[in-house]
């Protein structure tokens, strides 16, 4: 069996892998859904747009369900703090993405009534827009720390309100995430549709990419020079028990930059975030859409890695009682659980990637207005 330190590090990486898997796959579903009312002008066009993601969104969404399950299994303390502390944001995510979106896709075209279809289209749009914003909002708040603490029996209490989450920095991050996913979604939509829709999608994608790069740069500077970061000041055993009360933590401006000076290679993450987006746009200009999609995916990879690297070893810092912060080293499951879950992941993740790739291969054709018209 691998040692606990190693397993914790692996599961921290896998945590990121699952979110990246989600962002790269379901991210384009969310982006396309948020674009729906803007790129599609009539019912037929809306159906074309919906059918580009219709057969695949459900599998894509499992990445986030799996990510939640993996946090539960590998980081139970993180799961408990994040989900109960951010109660209404999680419920909003659940309502828009988890509850109304699946039903919207399946029920929308089962009736011809335009009011019926309008309502479901609205639900699809909200189910794309709101989650895309929420993911950024969550990152923005976690970077600033959440107001929770543990008592000596490790019983959790969360002492913050719902509206406090909508602070300026978090809202900035929310917009960054939205622009990023619209960039990504626009490219996928263009890949799957014919000229007219594709061109419209690309116009939005390009605009979003520029905004995304500006917001990402601004957010980076903001986090580096105006957001108070966290730093562990006591010696901590990476093999220790998962008890978050055995360390000292201070808040310090610039603490989120420490890892970049300590390990300069990690600068690759934010650089990739930018270069990916820029390269995606150049590829769009050169009509190389598949390359553009790949570059956009790399940009998402870079952005999510940037958040992880900046905060390491913190997973959720506590703004109320910094010593209660959750670290990679003190918030995990046991060695046995992490090891068994790793085995399961090593068996199933490659299988998942394999059969998902096959499904995409089967569904590789563009969705055309003609084929939908023929089957009305």
Partner 1 sequence: MLPSDSVVLLSRWQFGLTALYHFLFVPLTLGLSNLLGIMETVYFITRRPIWRTMTQYWGLLFGINVAMGVATGITLEFQFGTNWAYYSQYVGDIFGAPLAIEGLMAFFLESTFIGLFFFGWDRLSRGAHLIVTWLLALGSSFSALWILIANGWMQHPTGAFFNFHTMRMELSNFYEVIFNPVAQAKFVHTISAGYVTGSMFVLSISAYFLLRNRNVAFAKRSMMVAAAFGLASALSVVVLGDESGYLADLNQKMKIAAIEGQWETEPAPAPLTLIGWPDEKLHATRYAVKVPYVLGLIATRSLHTPVYGIFDLVDDARNRIKDGVVAYTALLALQKNPNDKAAEMVLSVHQENLGYGLLLKRYTSDVAHATPELIEKAAWDTVPKVGVLFWAFRVMAGLGFFFILLFGTAYYFTIRRGATKRRWFLWVAFLSLPLPWLACEVGWVVAEFGRQPWVVEGELPTFLAASTLAVQDLWISIGGFVFFYSLLAVIEIFLMVKYIRLGPEALFKPKDFGLNKVEPPLKSSLSYY
Which 342-371 positions form the footprint of partner 1 (CB under 8 A)? 344-345, 348-349, 352, 355-356, 359, 362-363, 371
Among 156, 211, 257, 278, binds partner 1 (CB under 8 A): 156
Provide the pairing of β-strand 314-316 with 326-327: antiparallel
3-state secondary structure of 313: coil
44 binds partner 1 (CB under 8 A): no
173 binds partner 1 (CB under 8 A): no
Query: How many other C-beta atoms are found inside a 10 Å radius of the C-beta of residue 294?
Result: 17
247 binds partner 1 (CB under 8 A): no
35 binds partner 1 (CB under 8 A): no
Provide the β-strand partners of residue 156: 150
184 binds partner 1 (CB under 8 A): no
Looking at beta carbons only, is 26 or 145 nearer to partner 1? 26
Looking at beta carbons only, is 84 or 285 nearer to partner 1? 84
Q: Mask: binding to partner 1, 320-339, rule CB under 8 A, as x and -?
A: -------------xx-xx--
118 binds partner 1 (CB under 8 A): no
**Structural tokens at position 266:** 């990690």
Q: Which of residues 277-316 bind partner 1 (CB under 8 A)?
A: none
Could you tell me the smallest distance in angstroms from the CB atom of residue 375 to partner 1? 5
Q: How far is Cα 22 from Cα 373, in angstroms, rounded to an integer?
A: 32
Looking at beta carbons only, is 121 or 229 nearer to partner 1? 121
72 binds partner 1 (CB under 8 A): yes
Contact present, 15 and 67 (Cβ < 8 Å): yes
Among 144, 205, 242, 325, binds partner 1 (CB under 8 A): 242
Strand extents, DSSP E, 169-219: none
Give the 3-state secondary structure percentages of the chain, helix then strand then coil, rounded to 5.
75, 5, 20
Q: How far is Cα 7 from Cα 308, in angstroms, rounded to an integer?
A: 17
Query: What Å distances lie between residue 130 and 27, 282, 347, CA to CA?
Result: 12, 29, 34
Looking at beta carbons only, is 125 or 172 nearer to partner 1? 125
């Amino acid at each position: 069996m691998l040692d606990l330190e190693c397993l914790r590090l692996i599961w921290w990486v896998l945590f990121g892998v699952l979110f990246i898997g989600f962002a790269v796959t379901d991210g384009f579903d969310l982006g396309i859904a948020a674009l729906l009312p803007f790129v599609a002008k009539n019912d037929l066009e809306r159906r074309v747009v919906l059918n580009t993601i219709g057969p695949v969104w459900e599998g894509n969404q499992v990445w986030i369900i799996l990510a939640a399950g993996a946090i539960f299994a590998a980081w139970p303390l993180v799961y408990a703090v994040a989900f109960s502390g951010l109660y209404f944001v999680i419920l909003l995510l659940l309502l828009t993405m988890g509850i109304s979106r699946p039903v919207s896709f399946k029920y929308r075209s089962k009736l011809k009534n335009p009011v019926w279809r309008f309502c479901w289209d609205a639900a699809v749009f909200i189910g794309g827009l709101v989650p895309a914003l929420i993911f950024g909002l969550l990152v923005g708040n976690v970077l600033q720390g959440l107001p929770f603490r543990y008592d000596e029996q490790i019983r959790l209490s969360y002492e913050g309100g719902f509206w406090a989450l909508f602070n300026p920095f978090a809202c900035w991050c929310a917009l960054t995430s939205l622009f990023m996913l619209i960039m990504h979604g626009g490219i996928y939509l263009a890949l799957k549709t014919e000229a007219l829709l594709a061109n419209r999608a690309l116009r939005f994608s390009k605009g979003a990419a520029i905004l995304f790069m500006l917001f990402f740069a601004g957010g980076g500077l903001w986090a580096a020079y105006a957001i108070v970061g966290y730093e562990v000041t006591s010696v901590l055993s990476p093999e220790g028990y998962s008890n978050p009360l055995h360390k000292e933590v201070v808040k310090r401006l610039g603490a989120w930059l420490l890892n970049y000076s300590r390990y300069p290679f990690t600068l690759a993450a934010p650089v990739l975030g930018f270069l990916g987006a820029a390269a995606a746009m150049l590829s769009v200009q050169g009509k190389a859409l598949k390359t553009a999609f790949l570059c956009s995916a790399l940009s998402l990879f870079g952005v999510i890695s940037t958040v992880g690297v900046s905060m390491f070893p913190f997973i959720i810092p506590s703004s109320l009682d910094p010593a209660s912060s959750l670290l990679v080293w003190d918030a995990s499951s046991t060695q046995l659980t992490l090891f068994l879950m790793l085995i399961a992941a090593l068996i199933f993740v490659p299988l998942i990637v394999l059969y998902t790739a096959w499904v995409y291969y089967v569904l590789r054709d563009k969705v055309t207005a003609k084929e939908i018209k023929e089957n009305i």
